[in-house]
Chains A and B, each alone.
Chain A
Amino acid sequence: MALLTVQDLTMHYRTKLGGVHAVDGVSFAMAEGEAIGLVGESGCGKTSVAMALLRLLPDNAQILGGEILFEGRDLVKLSEHEMRKVRWRSISMVFQAAMNSLNPVYRVGQQIIEAIQQHLSVSEREARSRVAEHYNLVGLDPKLMDRYPHEYSGGMKQRAVIAMALACSPKLIIADEPTTALDVIVQDRILRRINEVRAEFNMAMMYISHDIAVIAEVAERIGVMYAGWIVEMADTVSVFKHPAHPYTIALMSAFPSIKGDKRVLAQLPGEPPNLLAPPSGCRFHPRCPHATAECVDEAPRLEEIDKGHFVSCWHPQRRSQ
């Protein structure tokens, strides 16, 4: 059975200029212990999907439709009180730029202990030993618990934030750009450590990143987002080797690599759309080399073109990369 099934999730932000269509008809499922990646450019709605799953939305946000089935319950329908029991304990999150949100005047360990005590009824001592245990897991010396954030390097802060997300042994962790601000050597160590911990505890993981190279290495399945839509979803190898959506194809060949032959990078014309007034029909049509009248007029639906390979496009491409 799926751990998480998201069906037709639609969320808007109300603004003075109108509704921002940040998440529009998003559907996907995750199995227990599975690692999925959500990729896409800045502003395409990755963080919004994550925040909607946890129902940690700002006041101007509104879930307009869809369901989020987690272990059989629809999170959209839960009261705030019930939702609080799900957060951290069942689903936790490493927030984008979280390492900058550690409170500078409290010891790092204390902040994690308090987070645990807010969600589990455990003694201070128990919470403390739990934090020490999770420090070890993420490769931090437990002695650092009594230090302040400014005494941590960027990589150490990020590890602490990950330890905090692990602290209540959740079933699902959402990691929003967990290593984006870090240098590659530190990033590599942290990603390897997360992978080990995930495998050891059979935790499901949703990685959010704009970097397809990072996602290639950590995810078993990938959802590609564009302008509030999931435009393609498949196992990682298929997304990289047989991308079918014209946007995925462009994205895959827009990144240089240090391995393999040097090849000319794909360039997309234009800019990502304004979500206040997204394009008609397929949201990618103004930038798409294959767009036809149909694409301008009518929105394609996410359809299965191969087993487990879903694409939302009127003209899915069938060549290999």
Chain B
Amino acid sequence: MSENGLLTVAGLSKLFPVKKRTYSLRVRNFIHAVDGLSFSVERGEVFGLVGESGCGKTTTGKLIVKLLDPTAGAVLLGGENTASIRRGKPLRAFRRRVQMIFQDPYESLNPRFTVFDTVAEPLVVQNRHSVAERERAVAEILVAVGLAPPETFMFRFPHELSGGQRQRVSIARAMVIHPDFVAADEPTSMLDVSIRAGIMELLLGLRADLGVSYLYITHDLAVARYMCNRIGVMYLGKIVELGPAEEVVQNSLHPYTQALIASVPVPDPTYHRQPGEIKGDVAAPIDPPARCRFYPRCPRGDKQCEEVSHPPLDELQPGHFVACYKASAQSRG
């Protein structure tokens, strides 16, 4: 993986303790929500994180923007470890560069704040702009996100906006300070279809205009294919496959990615899809055994997979990484 990435995640892990009814108080269990993730995002790149519910996408996003502290591993921004950033000036400087857009436009906006208050807040926190500068910056970004003319939106409250307009407000809020990096957590999944495409184009346009990079979190592979340069596929806290978006979607090598892709409905009634090969249901990653996380559901797993530890993410083709013992056997002949 490239070393001159804007943002690098190295061995990142987050364990959450779980309460379990047990007679021995000494037993503590942990959910391995994020488990030794490593990847890096280039300047101006859209890096997608896909996977099913509970695989650790949101936790990864929150670790990167420092809404959560990692259990292990590090996040580097421009080569610098962000772990030491705690409060005050360094944290403000960090927030100027790194922002997050949340999944639910209904929950992420303060109902008592006007659009202006919400969007201007990151500028207020930075405390570097005059009132006139703030007003200009807010008006500019509202136009950029399609809330024009800005005067007609600035003094509305969230309940006076539609879902699409609310999501535009949260995007404006993340973008108003022109960050270098934005973690966008399912930014369109709550929106109507006719509005969704507009928000996707908006995010891509802002990347071109402002040069921002994204971590784009989605459970929808078709959306990831459309939005992202590269995609990382997560399963139970691990990235199991990582590569150029088209490669991962058209030429997936990991059995989990293959099953996932085989299950995505295709908006073409003349296309006949074969069912994916996958067993059972996903389990919560509570103190998982060392072996491959996907082994219990894998159609290809054998004794080797069961007995040795989780496979490393190997570069099987240039830029295309896969964590599977059988995938490597397959393509190395």
Contact = CB atoms under 8 A, between A and B. Distances in A.
Contact of A258 (B165, B200, B264): B264
B221 interface: yes
B227 to A, nearest CB: 8
A153 B266 contact: no
B265 interface: yes
Interface stretch (B102-110, B124-132, B134-142, B270-278): B270-278
Contacts of A268: 194-195, 197-198
Interface in A264-279: 265-268, 271-272
Interface in A232-260: 236-237, 240-241, 250-252, 254-260
A184 B52 contact: yes
B278 A255 contact: no
B268 interface: yes
Q: In this complex, which of B193, B223, B261 has the most chain A Cβ atoms within 10 angstroms of its Cβ?
A: B193
Given A153-B281, A254-B194, A214 B266 contact: no
A187 interface: yes
A198 interface: no
B64 interface: no
Contact of A259 (B246, B259, B268, B281): B268
Contacts of A41: 192-194
A217 B263 contact: no
Contacts of A32: none
A258 B221 contact: yes
Contact of A237 (B193, B226, B266, B269): B269
A188 B281 contact: no
B260 A271 contact: no
A183 interface: yes
B244 interface: no
Given A212-B267, A237-B269, A254 B249 contact: no
B268 A42 contact: no
B276 A185 contact: yes
Interface string B48-62: 000011000000000
B36 interface: no
A267 B198 contact: yes
A216 interface: yes
A252 B269 CA distance: 12
Given A265-B201, A268-B194, A257 B268 contact: yes
Contact of B275 (A192, A211, A252, A257): A192
A255 B265 contact: no
A192 B263 CA distance: 11
A256 B225 contact: yes
A241 B194 CA distance: 19
Interface residues of A, number: 42
A254 B197 contact: yes
A195 B118 CA distance: 47
B261 A258 contact: yes
Given A41-B192, A188-B263, A267 B197 contact: yes
A265 B197 contact: yes
A271 B265 contact: no
A254 B196 contact: yes
A255 B222 contact: yes
Contacts of B197: 254, 265-268
A185 B263 contact: yes
A31 to B, nearest CB: 18
B219 interface: yes
Contact of B265 (A213, A241, A272): A213
Contact of B267 (A250, A255, A262): A255
A265 B162 CA distance: 21
A217 B275 CA distance: 13
Given A184-B52, A254-B194, A211 B226 contact: no
B225 A258 contact: yes
A142 interface: no
A260 B223 CA distance: 14
Nearest to A217: B265
Contact of A184 (B194, B195, B263): B263
Given A185-B260, A192-B275, A258-B261, A271 B162 contact: yes
Nearest to A179: B265
A157 to B, nearest CB: 12
Contacts of B273: 217
Nearest to A210: B193
A61 to B, nearest CB: 23
A237 B270 CA distance: 7
A188 B164 CA distance: 28
Given A188-B262, A237-B269, A259-B266, 13 more contacts: A42-B192, A183-B52, A210-B192, A212-B267, A213-B264, A216-B269, A236-B269, A240-B270, A252-B267, A265-B226, A267-B198, A268-B194, A271-B164
14 contacts: A184-B52, A184-B260, A184-B263, A185-B260, A188-B275, A213-B264, A240-B270, A258-B266, A259-B271, A262-B226, A268-B198, A271-B195, A272-B192, A272-B194
Q: Which 10 A-B pairs have the closest CB atoms?
A: A213-B265, A265-B197, A256-B226, A188-B263, A213-B267, A183-B52, A268-B194, A256-B222, A41-B192, A184-B263
